[in-house]
Amino acid sequence: MTRPEVGGFVRAWATSLHATRFVPMTRDERRTLLYGLADRLAGALVAAEFDPTVGYRVGVELVRAEYAVPECLGRTVALLTTRLLDDLDLAGDGTARDRLGALVDALATGFARAAHDATLDAQEATRLAAWAARDRAMRTLRAHEVEFRRAALQDPLTGLANRLRFMDWLADAAARDGTRLGLCRIDLDGFQAINDALGYGVGDRVLCAVADRLGVLADEGGYLVARLDGDRFALLVLDTGAAEDVTKVADRALATIVEPVRVDGNVLPVTGVAGVVELAAGEADAEETLRAAEIALRWSRADGRGWSLFEQERSARDVARYRLSAALPGALGRGEFRLAYQPLVSLDAGRLAGVEALARWHHPELGVLGPDRFIGLAEDTGAIVPLGITLLEQACRQAVAWLRYARGPFYVSVNLAVRQIRQPGLVANVAEILDRTGLPPAALQLEITESAALGADTETFQVLRGLTDLGVRIVVDDFGTGYSNLASLHIWPLHGIKLAGTFVEHLGTQAGHDAFLGAVVSFAQRLGLAVTAEGVETAEQARRLRGIGCETAQGWYFGYPVGPDQITRQLRT
């Protein structure tokens, strides 16, 4: 027995042919015969080269083995068409189904021919029976096929087309040269929560309600709609002219979804988000088109918008960002992050009072990357915590070396990310680094953002207090860009503020601005806060800042961020 999986089929076949033969055969003989025949049929179904004459020969052999009455053929054909594919696990295989049709056809022909040859008397009846059986068989096969196709292409819950069918549509649309097409992907918001809170039954009803509405929309507009899986729906718009043709569909789809769904007396609010892509046929295949819409959908979620339109440039930026963020930990290990230092100059004496440490990524392929390219990523992934510590230690070590040349107080100012402040153990880490490097705490300044300082809770307060208790200076960076409130500053353990560059930019250009900034500076000073101005680019700006009493300044006018050696040279002269 080469094919044990036909065993069940053979037993059924043997049973059904039992007593149709005039000359009795033993059960074993019958099974051996039928096994051989079944094995050949099964072999033909899966052979590399299909040979339909196998069916013909099986038909002939049945007659030769004296299974020659029309009934034998009828039962054989019935069994073949209802059972064999299932037993061989080929029910879903279109090729196997086609082959089985051809084999049954040939078997009936072979049987009829052999029966004809065998008994002229029985010929007519046999032929008729053969054709009737064949006809029946084909009809059964076709019915199965329709049923099978329906099941394969339709979502059983909502009755919409399923993913398979949608991808077929999409592939067809993408192949229609010279046309454009659009795809709108829709997800429901918080659908899992409905399932969790109210059960799958309610979840299913919500999906059906949404499917119905989208179905109506698609019918009216002539779009194609499908449920891909879960709460993921898609609309295909053919022959579009421009992106608006699809974004309008997205608008309407989202509007129809928001109608609350009534289930068992519950009124469930439903909302969704969409991702839209519109492109020329041939620009992308079906998978790529769907993926573009999925990406746009994620943008909608990230940006808190109803729908977003896919853009190649943004996607490329995302990919580049993703690559950078994946490369970040390795780069940290290889020491690719180094600090540039920008002078902080005291305005009255013109003396170098300190430097701000600014992170740079010396990327082996992309060159030197500024912090705007990677600090945000490092914050998102959490890599900012080890990165920040590494940079802090680098800055402190460098500052210790500089203190040997400094002829007066000198400090290094290091930026702290919000996430670092929220990280437990920051105070201990800073204390350790000061200890290890031997930097006097007063020579370290930490810059925190307005939001970290002012949107803060008692925990942040404790952290800032802990840092000031170490003797480290704390300043609020980019003061004035957020919702700062000068009056609330005094309750925080702070040493000063850094006025955002936009304040400096407007000096001398807007009526009343200088007076306003002067008031801010003197108020801050009355609270005991030192004021540093950022982004000073001209001598005029420096003069005006000195005029309003600002103590320290930073900007291109005084010096660009540079490598540590240049600062060393400046300190020595």
| Residues of this chain that bind Ca ion (CB under 5 A) | 415, 447, 477-478, 534
Partner in contact with 450, chosen from Ca ion, ligand C2E, none, beta carbon below 5 to 8 Å by kind: none
Rounded to 5 degrees, φ, ψ at 308 are -135, 150
Nearer to ligand C2E, 123 or 538 (CB): 538
Nearer to ligand C2E, 247 or 415 (CB): 415
Please name the helix (run of DSSP H) or strand (run of DSSP E) that holds residue 358, with its range, or none. strand 352-363
**Min dist. Cβ of residue 361 to ligand C2E (A):** 10
Partner in contact with 393, chosen from ligand C2E, Ca ion, none, beta carbon below 5 to 8 Å by kind: none
* Residues shown for the chain: 573
Partner in contact with 272, chosen from ligand C2E, Ca ion, none, beta carbon below 5 to 8 Å by kind: none
Nearer to Ca ion, 294 or 534 (CB): 534
Residues 540 and 508 sit within 8 Å (Cβ to Cβ): yes
Distances (CA, A) of 245 to 237, 374, 511, 523: 8, 37, 48, 56
**Min dist. Cβ of residue 499 to ligand C2E (A):** 11
Partner in contact with 556, chosen from ligand C2E, Ca ion, none, beta carbon below 5 to 8 Å by kind: ligand C2E
**Min dist. Cβ of residue 395 to ligand C2E (A):** 8
Nearer to Ca ion, 281 or 499 (CB): 499
Distance CA 37, CA 65 (A): 11
**Min dist. Cβ of residue 500 to Ca ion (A):** 7
Partner in contact with 155, chosen from Ca ion, ligand C2E, none, beta carbon below 5 to 8 Å by kind: none
Distance CA 203, CA 76 (A): 47
Distance CA 536, CA 553 (A): 7
Pairing of strands 307-309, 272-280: parallel
Nearer to ligand C2E, 13 or 479 (CB): 479
Partner in contact with 537, chosen from Ca ion, ligand C2E, none, beta carbon below 5 to 8 Å by kind: ligand C2E
**Min dist. Cβ of residue 332 to ligand C2E (A):** 12
Nearer to Ca ion, 415 or 541 (CB): 415
Return residues touching ligand C2E (CB under 6 A): 342, 358-359, 370-372, 375, 388, 391, 415, 417, 447, 477-478, 501, 535-537, 555-556, 561
DSSP state of 284: S
Nearer to ligand C2E, 227 or 498 (CB): 498
Nearer to ligand C2E, 62 or 446 (CB): 446
Nearer to ligand C2E, 289 or 415 (CB): 415
Among left, alpha and beta (phi > 0; psi -120 to 50; other), residue 284 is beta
**Min dist. Cβ of residue 369 to ligand C2E (A):** 10
Distance CA 535, CA 557 (A): 8
**Min dist. Cβ of residue 560 to Ca ion (A):** 15
DSSP state of 82: I
Partner in contact with 359, chosen from Ca ion, ligand C2E, none, beta carbon below 5 to 8 Å by kind: ligand C2E
Residues 177 and 281 sit within 8 Å (Cβ to Cβ): yes
**Min dist. Cβ of residue 547 to ligand C2E (A):** 19
What residues pair up with 496 in beta bridges, in sequence order? Answer: 475, 530
Rounded to 5 degrees, φ, ψ at 297 are -65, -40
**Min dist. Cβ of residue 310 to Ca ion (A):** 35
Residue with token string 């108020």: 523
Partner in contact with 564, chosen from ligand C2E, Ca ion, none, beta carbon below 5 to 8 Å by kind: none
Distance CA 292, CA 309 (A): 9
Apex 428 CA angle, 423 and 430, nearest 5: 90
- Candidates 231, 186, 183; CA nearest to 205 is 231
Partner in contact with 501, chosen from ligand C2E, Ca ion, none, beta carbon below 5 to 8 Å by kind: ligand C2E
Strand, coil or helix: what is 445? Answer: strand
